[in-house]
């Protein structure tokens, strides 16, 4: 190539110095975090010495120039670079002895030559005076340093609208040479005659262009979102061109999650992707989320997608006692471990074809999370992100404020009456007169409307991430450290999550690539709030306190001895201050997620890859019922420890080759999954010594051991065949063996096939406005085994304690085992079309699909009179049909720099339960029973998944309500479905406005078509809080009832309002089932990027500051008194709530800097 | 390098060669037994029948039957709903759920593991007797219930058991007792120490079987006197309990939920009368019961009841159990309406009302008495009165009173009634004879006093005999129109999960209400 490599020993020194310098730069970075004012000082200290400053002692007689350079290098930090042919003939040089600066020495040496020198850092470049070229130092892929003489190239980079882009990074592929564009989008760079220039910029598709002797490049970069040939990560981490895909994949950039954040990544997906229904829970900041892709496909299985982090399936099970009828704590799911700052991309594989390669657990789709890795770059990059937000509780209940505490229209007149009526607002008209309250103090009998605001704190979340990255052709790495510190709105609750993330890849001898990624988390949660029941749950107490009592009068919640002070009729309804200050729980989760892979390229078209992934976590948790708790005055506690791990070992052979018009891309391999959980729970029994909280202080400690182990072995293969880049065929096949099924029927093979056709590429006479058009179709099967091990035969277990010296034994569990279970199958057919037009300023992507699950393994509820609660049956059939629509557009592209981008997504999923089991037309969802014991979730044949069910008032043939002669109350109808619990329609609208360095974005998120059973309103009615208990003066006039009695005779009676409403509150379910549609302003960000001009005076490469907000406004809601997203459970039983943690509005600041 | 990689790849593939090797073993829970130990299952079955949680103790026995029988009273309308006949599904469901889901589960398994095995005939017969004990409580409380197909979810794959008529269940239970009693064979092995009740003694089980037959036979007097007579006579001929030594009971110790007496544990908890409430707990003793004990100078009073300082500090029992200071709370009032009854009522006055004695009859180490000798003697008194059995009612009555007072020796707390006090009581409250009804009143009022905390049985006996005479209350919003409930409604889960069979049961029995009578409770 005509370039000479320096073969001096200085190369090592150069690298060492490079290293030292960068370590100093890292030092600067870290210092920045601590003392920002010290930055410039540090930056100065790393400047190189100049040739004028460095003195050497040298004497040369008849030396060659090469010899002279060598001697100077020996005494100085410098090293020389030059072109051999220009230097080698210069000999016979003399330099008199003595101490002199390098500059003086060089002046002498080059005096009579045509050469000149220039210092670049520690390099001295020697070039010909006559040539108007700048030499550049480059580290080559071989690891050596080279001097390359070359030409200057100039150019300008613009976006698709022809507007200049500043800050675009331009690098020479395979080297660390690079520059970036100025404010006018212009750049100049010196590169070799040959090579490839890489133009990259965040938010734009990276372009690579061969130099091929060109001197100027005026190029355009396409927006990432508009890129047509963009590659996305698909199954097994294989990148594919988007146009080759035969199924729907949505890829989101990590930056979508870093500004306005959610603690749980699942919640952050809401409204962003058509066909993905993400919902959070009202269980506090560390709670779980439920993400459903294209509807629920299994009647009783886990319907959530498989989460894959860097190729490793991670465990996303909800920890703790998931809240059910009688309460519980949501200790969060697996997604809480993911730090948004580490995410490079999230790919959502929606359809069966997309997921077919992942096997059974991907039957509900796959969410692939790829974390950031190091890149070939000059030096070490430092990125720092800091976000601070405040969460304010929203005061949603709108109760009646006309009547106060009391019963039957009478105010309490004594402390015990006040306590007995602490949550009963059936008293007298609020008149401001002094009335005794539960603390024994008389206060004005007047409305207290801000108990929510008065009880809850404002929460705060402070997240900081520092990431270092770097790399060259041979090795690259990224390391990040992150801390997320959350103080919840429930007093004394907090979360601290630390994440360490390392990604390293080594490319050894070109053919062998090692890659390792490791994440370690430490999560500490304190005092997660109890949910759904009343015991230990402060939220229900805040929700039900009588209208005239200021919640703050219940503080501090305990007496001088530390015993809970009573405030209501029922000891299990905790004093909220006692719950927040004395009831304690906590958990500590340490988690390691790692993936290690080796790839060997046999040839340029054949490779082998072996990979091992591990998700290992350990949870230590404790739960203390403190001494003095009213319903358990001695107090007691439990602790639990569990270890869960899953390993996946995968090996595959890959083949990638072009044959004429055809390109074939094929893989074949196998995977071995092993999953194990072991744990122990210990309960203390009542404490012997009060106020001392440790297990051995309990008088009857009992332990239980939990253990489960399962495995899936798989073989798989796939082939992608492309014809001329416009016709693509995709075939996959996989066979799984499940350990949870009997060996007689434990395996299943399932295939998939897909075809896509980019018709715009061959449609010669296509209309001018159409830039791109593609149709795709696919058919896929995915199967699955039984979710839980040990479901085949009855097992007997022993409790840990005995009685009177006799050992005990009992039947394990409440599920009737079934030894004949077989795998189930989910079949998806999808058809889609993608269009882009008007210079790619508008785009549409429409998909229709049908997904049918057959042989579904159903955990069918059986009545307790069978002695069990459920049985596993292999008979379910459920169908999801739907349409997904994505519309994108760029309505405004102004030359002045004002841009407006809009994206709208919509999905409608029609779900039908086709069959439950022979002789079984309905199925109760386990645990899906509201605390009122009057609201349920059931599946019914020929109805959508998860119907909220219960009772109405019974009607006779003529439609008259039937009343009881005895008590005058309406008689319950038969048990029936009252409305779907899962919304079929989800909508999202996001807008981004950009003007110069400002960006404004917002996301509107809406869901419609489902209902919710609001226990809050049922209790609100029972206890006289709901507005219906005062409407039409019913408290004065009574409730006039007319209909028929049980015998069919005419019935008419006026019932006391309290009798009537307390009589129906827990019997007429339908009174508290309402539409749950809503529209929320989900997210708002206003960002400012520091301009280049300002940045050049700082050590930053880029810096941005954003105002961020989440869940800013509930724009529209069909529900009263409760937030439409206050489900307490992420289980299949959706549509139940009971006094959750109030929703919060969060807003704050986000800072991101790179240097 | 190439070969190293190849080796790694090939090694990875070898992991996959046998695609389901070891899966069978992996799918066996290492923390479980592969074969059951029948004796240990039976030990567990007895414990869980005595009490599995509040479902088969606090709710049916105390808050419902206990309050309806006016042993207990409460001012809280949301708790102790039996005081005011208010509906509360969680409470009325409790016994049904516990019986079928817990008490019956291991019992059915034992029956299926022992049935037809000659060597295990005693184990089988004992399990059958226990089966009847479990079932009669649930049918007495609800009426028609699943019987022939109940608990067969695993054994026979019956997921939706049909309901049997109580008129069929009773004969079936009585026949089962009869056959089981006949099968017991002292020459064969038995449960031994795994049987907490009789240490596996076939003779003792035989006495219990016939005593239970006496109880069940007597239950039929209203609906089918001839059958009642037949079974009562059969029971007496077979041999019933002879003394307090024959009592069917499970001893408890303080400790975990498998050790303690659940009623005691629950009563000392938040929904009962925790000592920490300092006398302001929910579940006070009822006026009807306290007044009766006081009026008859019953020496069992300090054993049964106390004022709260005695519960908080047993050393204060001598003063806080004095009859003169006891006060019973009237049934049917709440915190407001009590003021209309007792002018000048103040909060703290609740502490002056008696509570169950948590150191004796309500202790955590109080035995669960499934059937007492006193009860047997009282049924024998009725049998004698009806001319169905030997002896005279008076003797049986006095035996019952004596046994009931002497039984305190089996309880913690160290209380006992001296013989002199027993005879003083009997002479102050003699069996007076009189009309049939008068004698029935005396026998069954004594049963009410003697069987305190066997409240479910007392409630059944009250429905059959009408004694003791109780004055019902009529609290606003009650579910019965101001009468004491005649049964409990079925759980809603039966209506929703076992719909057809539930509907048929209701069709046959009458509306699923508190006021509908079960078959033997003929109007």
Q: Where does residue A47 rank: exposed (0-12), middle (13-18), buried (19+ CB within 10 A)?
A: exposed
Query: B36–A809: do the CB atoms touch at under 8 Å?
Result: yes
Other Cβ atoms less than 10 A from the Cβ of B265: the count is 25
Query: Average pLDDT in the A75-89 region?
Result: 77
Q: Is A1124 left (phi over 0), alpha (psi -120 to 50) or beta?
A: alpha
Contact B32 A812 (CB under 8 A): yes
pLDDT band for A1140, please (50, 70, 90 cuts). confident
Give CA separation, A734 vs A671, A717, A783, A1145, in Å: 10, 6, 9, 46
Per-residue pLDDT, averaged over A764-782, amounts to 88
Spell A569-597 as b/e; 16+ CB within 10 A means b. bbbbbbbbbbbbbbbbbbbbbbbbbbbbb
- Residue A588, chain B, CB below 8 Å: the answer is no
Note the pLDDT of residue A136.
45
Give DSSP secondary structure letters for B413-447. T-----HHHHHHHHHHS-----SHHHHHHHHHHHH
CB A684 within 8 A of CB A636: yes
CA of A932 vs chain B CAs: smallest distance (Å): 9
Which segments within A432-583 are labelled E, that is strand?
Answer: 434-436, 442-444, 459-471, 475-487, 494-508, 512-526
- The reply to whether A1062 touches chain B by the CB within 8 Å rule is yes
User: Chain A contacts of B59, Cβ < 8 Å?
Assistant: none
Kindly report, residue by residue over A160-205, the tens digit of the pLDDT.
667 777 767 787 776 656 677 777 788 887 766 667 788 877 667 7
Query: If we measure between CA atoms, which residue out of A1003, A991, A1009, A773 comes closest to residue A882?
Result: A1009
Residue range A1081-1092: mean pLDDT, rounded: 88
Rounded to an integer, what distance in angstroms lies between the CA atom of residue A738 and that of residue A725? 39
Considering only residues 499 to 528 of chain A, which have any Cβ-Cβ distance to chain B shorter than 8 Å? 508-509, 511-512
Q: Which of B146, B194, B270 sits opposite A632 (nearest CB)?
A: B270
Torsion sign over Cα A158, A159, A163, A166: negative
* Percent of residues, chain A, with pLDDT higher than 70: 91
DSSP state of A37: G
What distances in angstroms separate CA A624 from CA A76, A639, A774, B440, one per listed residue?
Answer: 69, 9, 60, 53
User: What is the per-residue pLDDT for A574?
Assistant: 95
Q: Chain A contact for B322, CB < 8 A?
A: no
Do residues A854 and A827 touch, judged by C-beta distance below 8 A? yes
Distance separating alpha carbons of residues A151 and A275, to the nearest angstrom: 52
Q: Are B14 and A778 in contact (CB under 8 A)?
A: no
**CB B303 within 8 Å of CB B408:** yes
Query: Does B156 reach chain A within 8 Å, measured CB to CB?
Result: no
For all residues of chain A together, what is the average pLDDT? 85
Contacts of A271 (CB under 8 A, 6+ apart): A278, A905, A986, A987, A988, A989, A990, A1003, A1004, A1005, A1006, A1082
Cβ contacts of A111 within 8 Å, gap of 6 or more? none
pLDDT digit string, tens, across residues A583-607: 999 999 999 999 999 999 888 899 9
Q: Cβ-count burial of A151 within 10 angstroms (0-12 exposed, 13-18 middle, 19+ buried)?
A: middle
Residues 6+ apart with CB under 8 A from B237: none
Rounded CA gap, A640 and A680, in Å?
A: 6
At residue A30 the predicted structure's pLDDT band, cuts being 50, 70 and 90, is very low
Is B12 in contact with A747 (Cβ distance < 8 A)? no
Report the half-sphere exposure of A364 (CA within 13 A, side-chain side).
23
Q: Which ranges in A213-293 belong to alpha helices (H)? A: 265-268
Mean pLDDT, rounded, for A713-731: 90
pLDDT exceeds cutoff 80 at A343: yes
Which residue of chain B comes nearest to A787, CA vs CA?
B27
Q: Which residues of chain B are within 8 Å of residue A708 when distances are taken between CB atoms?
A: 29
Q: How confident is the model at residue A48 (pLDDT cuts 50, 70, 90)?
A: low
Angle between helices B121-142 and B104-114 (to 10 degrees): 150
CB A555 within 8 A of CB A273: no
The CA distance from A733 to B271, in Å, is 60
- Cα–Cα distances in angstroms (integers) from residue A609 to residues A24, A369, A669, A734, A1125, in the given order: 38, 20, 9, 18, 44
pLDDT the model gives residue A985: 96
How many CB atoms are closer than 10 A to CB B278?
Answer: 14
3-state secondary structure of B481: coil
**Residue A235 confidence (pLDDT):** 75
Closest-CA residue of A relative to B94 is A864
Which residues of chain A does B157 touch, with a Cβ-Cβ cutoff of 8 Å?
816
Residue A865's φ and ψ, nearest 5 degrees, are -65, -10
B238 touches chain A (CB under 8 A): no
Q: What is the pLDDT of residue A32?
A: 37
pLDDT at A1086 over 90: yes
Question: CA B265 to CA B283: how far, in whole Å?
Answer: 13
- Over residues A1043-1072, the mean pLDDT reads 94
Contacting A residues, span 96-125, partner chain B, CB-CB under 8 Å: none
Q: Which residue has the tokens 């204060």?
A: B316
Q: What pLDDT is attached to residue A141?
A: 37
Confidence bin at A46 (pLDDT 50/70/90)? very low
Q: Which residue has the tokens 């039409």?
A: A1032
Report helix, strand or coil for A373: coil
Residue A1064: left (phi > 0), alpha (psi -120 to 50), or beta?
Answer: alpha
pLDDT bin (cut points 50, 70, 90) of residue A510 is: confident
Q: Is B107 in the A-facing interface, judged by CB distances under 8 Å?
A: no
Q: Smallest Cβ distance to A630: which of B89, B270, B513?
A: B270
Do residues A997 and A1082 touch, judged by C-beta distance below 8 A? no
User: What is residue A21's predicted lDDT score, i.e. its pLDDT?
Assistant: 46
Angle at B120 between CA B33 and CA B123, to 5 degrees: 80
For residue A226, the model assigns a pLDDT of 44
For residues B329 and B291, is the Cβ–Cβ distance under 8 A?
A: no
Candidates B74, B85, B82, B92; CA nearest to B478 is B85
Q: Supply the pLDDT for residue A147.
A: 45
Per-window interface: B 10-69 vs A, CB < 8 A: 11-13, 15-16, 19-20, 22-24, 26-33, 35-37, 39-41, 43-44, 47-48
Among positive and negative, which fits the CA dihedral A1125, A1131, A1132, A1135?
A: negative
Share of chain A above pLDDT 90, in %: 48
On whether any CB of chain A is under 8 Å from the CB of B271, the answer is yes
Give the minimum alpha-carbon distance from A128 to chain B in angstroms, rounded to a whole number: 44
Contact of B356 with B283, CB cutoff 8 Å: yes
Q: Measured on CA atoms in the order B462, B463, B466, B471, is the torsion positive or negative? A: positive
Is residue A37 predicted with pLDDT exceeding 60? no
Taking a C-beta distance cutoff of 8 angstroms, is the pair A638, A622 a contact? yes
Q: Nearest chain A Cα to B338, which residue?
A: A417
A118: number of Cβ within 10 Å: 13
**Closest in A671, A740, A864 to B101, CB measured:** A864
Contacts of A931 (CB under 8 A, 6+ apart): A325, A326, A327, A532, A533, A534, A1015, A1138
Give residues 34 to 93 of A whose Cβ lies within 8 Å of B.
none
CA distance A304 to chain B (A): 24
Residues in chain B closer than 8 A to A600 (CB atoms) = 2, 5-6, 9
CA angle B493, B497, B499 (to 5 degrees): 105
| CA–CA distance, A714 with A858 (Å, rounded to integer) | 24
Average pLDDT over every residue of A43-58? 68
Residues of chain A with Cβ-Cβ distance to B43 below 8 Å are 803, 806-809
Select the more confidently predicted residue: A1064 or A860.
Answer: A1064
Using the Cβ of A690 and the Cβ atoms of chain B, whether some distance falls under 8 Å is answered with no
pLDDT of residue A70: 84
A975-999 residue pLDDT tens:
899 999 999 999 999 999 988 889 9
What CA–CA distance (Å, rounded) separates A164 from A162?
Answer: 6
Q: Cβ distance A370 to A233 under 8 Å?
A: yes
B493 touches A at CB < 8 Å: yes
Instruction: Determine the pLDDT at residue B17.
Output: 52
Q: How many whole angstroms separate alpha carbon A1122 and alpha carbon A399? A: 11
Mean pLDDT by 10 residues, chain B (523 residues): 55 58 86 92 98 96 98 93 93 96 97 96 98 98 98 92 98 98 96 97 98 98 97 98 98 93 93 90 96 98 97 95 97 90 88 97 97 98 97 97 97 96 96 96 98 98 97 92 96 89 96 95 92
Count H helices, E strands: chain A? 15, 62
Give the whole-angstrom CA distance, residue A879 versus residue A857.
14
Where does the pLDDT of residue A51 fall: very low under 50, low under 70, confident under 90, or very high at 90 and above? Answer: confident
**Which structure tokens are listed for A1016?**
């809050």
At A500, give phi and psi (nearest 5°): -120, 130
3-class SS at A199? strand
Note the pLDDT tens digit of each residue in A516-570.
999 999 999 999 999 888 999 999 999 999 999 999 999 999 999 999 999 998 8
The DSSP 8-state label assigned to residue B452 in this structure reads: T
Give the bridge partners for A839, in sequence order: none
Give the whole-angstrom CA distance, residue A280 versus residue A265: 10
């Amino acid at each position: 190539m005509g370039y000479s490599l320096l073969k001096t020993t200085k190369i090592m020194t150069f690298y060492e110095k490079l290293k030292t310098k960068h370590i100093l730069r890292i030092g600067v970075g870290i210092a920045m975090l601590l003392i920002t004012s010290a930055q410039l000082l540090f930056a100065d200290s790393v400047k190189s010495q100049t040739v004028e400053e460095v003195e050497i002692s040298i004497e040369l007689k008849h030396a060659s120039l090469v010899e002279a350079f060598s001697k100077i290098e020996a005494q100085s930090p410098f090293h020389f670079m030059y072109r051999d042919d220009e230097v080698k003939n210069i000999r016979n040089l003399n330099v008199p002895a003595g101490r002199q600066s390098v500059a003086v020495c060089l002046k002498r040496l080059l005096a009579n030559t045509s050469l000149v020198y220039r210092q670049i850092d520690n390099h001295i470049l020697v070039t010909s005076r006559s040539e108007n070229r700048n030499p550049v130092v480059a580290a080559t892929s071989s690891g050596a340093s080279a001097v390359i003489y070359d030409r200057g190239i100039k150019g300008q980079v613009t976006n698709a609208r022809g507007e200049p882009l500043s800050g675009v990074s331009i690098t020479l592929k395979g080297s660390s040479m690079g520059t970036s564009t100025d404010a006018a989008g212009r750049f100049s760079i010196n590169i070799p005659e040959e090579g490839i220039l890489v133009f990259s910029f965040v938010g734009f598709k990276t372009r690579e262009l061969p130099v091929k002797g060109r001197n100027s490049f005026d190029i355009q970069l396409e927006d990432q979102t508009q890129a047509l040939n963009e590659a996305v990560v698909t199954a097994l981490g294989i990148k594919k061109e988007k146009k080759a895909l035969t199924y729907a994949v949505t890829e989101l950039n990590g930056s979508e999650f870093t500004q306005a954040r959610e603690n749980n990544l699942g919640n952050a997906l809401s409204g962003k992707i058509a066909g993905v229904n993400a919902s959070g829970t009202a269980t506090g900041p560390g709670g779980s989320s439920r993400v459903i892709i294209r509807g629920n496909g299994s009647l009783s299985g886990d319907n959530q997608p498989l989460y894959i982090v860097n190729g490793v399936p991670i465990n996303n099970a909800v920890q703790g006692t998931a809240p059910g009828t009688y309460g519980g704590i949501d200790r969060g799911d697996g997604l809480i471990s993911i730090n948004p700052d580490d995410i490079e991309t999230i790919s959502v594989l929606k359809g069966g074809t997309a997921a077919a390669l992942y096997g059974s657990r991907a039957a509900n789709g796959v969410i692939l999370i790829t974390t950031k890795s190091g890149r070939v770059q000059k030096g070490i990059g430092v990125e720092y992100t800091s976000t601070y937000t405040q969460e304010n509780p929203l005061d949603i209940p709108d109760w009646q404020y006309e009547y106060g505490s009391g019963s039957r229209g009478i105010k309490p007149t004594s402390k015990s009456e006040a306590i007995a009526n602490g949550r009963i607002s059936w008293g007298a008209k609020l008149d401001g007169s002094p009335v005794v309250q539960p603390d024994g103090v008389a206060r004005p009998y007047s409305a207290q409307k801000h108990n929510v605001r008065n009880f809850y704190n404002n929460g705060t979340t402070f997240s900081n991430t520092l990431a270092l990255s770097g790399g060259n052709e041979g090795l690259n790495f990224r390391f990040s450290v992150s801390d997320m510190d959350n103080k919840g709105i429930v007093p004394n609750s907090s979360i601290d999550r630390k994440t360490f993330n390392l990604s390293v890849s080594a490319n050894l001898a070109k053919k062998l690539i090692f890659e390792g990624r490791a994440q370690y988390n430490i999560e500490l949660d304190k005092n997660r709030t109890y949910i759904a029941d009343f015991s230990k749950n402060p939220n229900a107490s805040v929700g039900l306190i009588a209208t005239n009592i200021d919640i703050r009068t219940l503080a501090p919640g305990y007496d001088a001895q530390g015993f809970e002070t009573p405030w209501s009729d029922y000891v299990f309804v905790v004093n909220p201050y006692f719950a927040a200050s004395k009831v304690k729980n906590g958990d500590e989760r340490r988690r390691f997620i790692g993936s290690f892979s080796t790839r060997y390229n046999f040839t340029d078209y054949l490779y082998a890859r072996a990979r091992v992934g591990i998700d290992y976590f350990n949870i230590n948790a404790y739960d203390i019922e403190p001494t003095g708790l009213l319903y358990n005055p001695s107090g007691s506690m439990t602790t639990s420890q569990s270890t869960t791990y899953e390993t996946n070992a995968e090996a595959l052979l890959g083949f990638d080759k072009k044959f004429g018009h055809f390109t074939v891309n094929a893989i074949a391999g196998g995977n071995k999954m092993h999953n194990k959980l072991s744990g122990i729970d210990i309960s203390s029994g009542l404490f012997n010594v009060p106020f001392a909280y440790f297990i051995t202080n309990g008088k009857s400690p009992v332990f239980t051991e939990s253990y489960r182990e399962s495995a899936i072995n798989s073989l798989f293969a796939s082939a992608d065949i492309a014809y001329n880049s416009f016709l693509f065929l995709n075939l996959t096949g996989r066979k799984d063996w499940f350990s949870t099924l009997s060996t007689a029927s434990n395996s299943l093979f399932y295939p998939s096939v897909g075809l896509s056709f980019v018709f715009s590429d061959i449609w010669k006479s296509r209309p001018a406005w159409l830039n791109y058009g593609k149709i795709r179709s696919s058919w896929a099967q995915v199967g699955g085994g039984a979710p839980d091990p040990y479901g085949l035969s009855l097992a007997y277990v022993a409790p840990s304690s005995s009685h009177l010296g006799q050992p005990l034994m009992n039947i394990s569990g409440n599920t009737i085992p079934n030894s004949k279970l077989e795998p189930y199958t989910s079949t998806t057919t999808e058809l889609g079309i993608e269009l882009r037009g008007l210079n790619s300023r508008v785009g549409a992507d429409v998909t229709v699909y049908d997904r049918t699950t057959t042989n579904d393994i159903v955990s069918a509820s059986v009545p307790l009179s069978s002695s069990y609660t459920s049985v596993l049956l292999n008979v379910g059939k459920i169908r999801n049909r739907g349409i997904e629509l994505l519309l994108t557009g760029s309505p405004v592209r102004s030359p002045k720099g004002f841009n407006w981008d809009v994206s709208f997504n919509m999905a409608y999923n029609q779900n039908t339960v086709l069959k439950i089991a022979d002789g079984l037309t309905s199925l109760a969802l386990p645990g899906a029973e509201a605390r009122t014991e009057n609201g349920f979730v059931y599946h019914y044949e020929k109805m959508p998944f998860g119907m909220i069910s219960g009772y109405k008032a019974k009607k006779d043939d003529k439609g008259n309500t039937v009343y009881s002669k005895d008590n005058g109350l309406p008689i319950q109808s038969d048990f029936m479905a009252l409305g779907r619990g899962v919304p079929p329609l989800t909508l999202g609208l996001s807008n981004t406005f950009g003007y110069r360095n400002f960006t404004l974005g917002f996301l509107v998120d809406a869901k419609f078509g489902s209902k919710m059973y609001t226990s809050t309103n049922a209790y609100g009615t029972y206890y006289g809080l709901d507005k219906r208990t005062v409407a039409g003066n019913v408290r004065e006039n009574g409730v006039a009832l007319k209909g028929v009695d049980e015998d069919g005779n005419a019935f008419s009676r006026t019932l006391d309002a309290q009798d009537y409403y307390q009589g129906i509150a827990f019997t007429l379910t339908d009174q508290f089932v309402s539409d749950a549609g809503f529209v929320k302003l989900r997210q708002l960000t206003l960002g400012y990027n520091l301009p280049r001009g300002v940045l050049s005076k700082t050590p930053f490469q880029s810096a941005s500051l954003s105002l961020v907000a989440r869940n800013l406004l509930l724009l529209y809601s069909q529900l009263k008194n409760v937030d439409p997203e206050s489900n307490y459970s992420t289980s299949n039983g959706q549509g139940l709530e009971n006094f959750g943690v109030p929703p919060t509005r969060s807003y704050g600041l986000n800072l991101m800097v790179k240097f | 390098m190439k070969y190293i990689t190849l080796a790694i790849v090939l090694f990875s593939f070898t992991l996959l060669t046998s695609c389901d090797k070891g899966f069978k073993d992996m799918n066996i829970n290492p923390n479980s037994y592969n074969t059951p130990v029948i004796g240990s299952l039976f030990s567990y079955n007895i414990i869980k029948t005595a009490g599995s949680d509040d479902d088969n103790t606090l709710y049916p026995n105390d808050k419902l039957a206990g309050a309806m029988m006016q042993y207990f009273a409460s001012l809280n309308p949301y708790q102790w709903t039996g005081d005011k006949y208010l509906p509360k599904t969680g409470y009325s469901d409790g016994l049904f759920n516990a019986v079928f889901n817990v008490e019956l589960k291991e019992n059915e398994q034992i029956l299926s593991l022992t049935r037809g095995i000659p060597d295990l005939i005693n184990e089988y017969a004992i399990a059958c007797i226990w089966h009847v004990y479990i079932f009669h409580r649930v049918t007495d409380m609800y009426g028609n219930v699943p019987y022939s197909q109940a608990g067969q979810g695993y054994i026979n794959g019956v997921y939706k058991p049909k309901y049997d008529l109580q008129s069929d269940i009773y004969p079936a239970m009585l026949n089962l007792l009869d056959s089981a009693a006949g099968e017991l064979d002292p020459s064969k092995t038995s449960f031994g120490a795994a049987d907490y009740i009789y240490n596996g003694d076939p003779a003792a089980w035989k006495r219990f079987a016939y005593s239970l037959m006496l109880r069940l036979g007597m239950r039929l007097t209203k609906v089918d006197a001839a059958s009642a007579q037949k079974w009562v006579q059969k029971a007496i001929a077979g041999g019933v309990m002879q003394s307090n030594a024959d009592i069917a009971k499970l001893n408890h110790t303080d400790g975990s939920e498998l050790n303690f007496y659940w009623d005691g544990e629950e009563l000392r908890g938040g929904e009962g009368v925790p000592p920490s409430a300092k006398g302001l707990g929910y579940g006070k003793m009822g006026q009807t019961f306290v007044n009766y004990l006081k009026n008859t100078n019953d020496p069992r009073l300090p054993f049964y009841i106390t004022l709260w300082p005695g519960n908080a500090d047993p050393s204060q029992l001598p003063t806080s159990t004095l009859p003169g200071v006891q006060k019973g709370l009237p049934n049917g009032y709440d915190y407001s309406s009590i003021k209309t009854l007792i002018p000048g009522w103040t909060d703290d006055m609740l502490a002056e009302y008696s509570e169950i004695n948590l150191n004796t009859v309500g202790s955590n180490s109080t035995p669960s008495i499934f059937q007492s000798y006193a009860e047997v003697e009282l049924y024998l008194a009725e049998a004698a009165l009806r001319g169905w059995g030997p002896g005279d009612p008076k003797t049986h009555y006095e035996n019952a009173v004596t046994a009931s007072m002497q039984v305190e020796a089996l309880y913690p707390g160290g209380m006992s009634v001296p013989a002199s006090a027993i005879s003083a009581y009997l002479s102050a409250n003699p069996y007076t004879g009189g009309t049939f009804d008068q004698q029935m009143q005396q026998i069954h009022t004594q049963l009410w006093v003697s069987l305190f905390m066997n409240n479910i049985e007392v409630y059944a006996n009250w429905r059959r005999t009408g004694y003791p005479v109780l004055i019902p209350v009529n609290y606003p919003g009650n579910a019965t129109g101001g009468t004491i409930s005649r049964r409990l409604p079925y759980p809603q889960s039966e209506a929703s999960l076992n719909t057809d069979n539930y509907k048929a049961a209701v069709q046959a029995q009458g509306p699923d209400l508190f006021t509908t009578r079960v078959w033997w409770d003929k109007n």
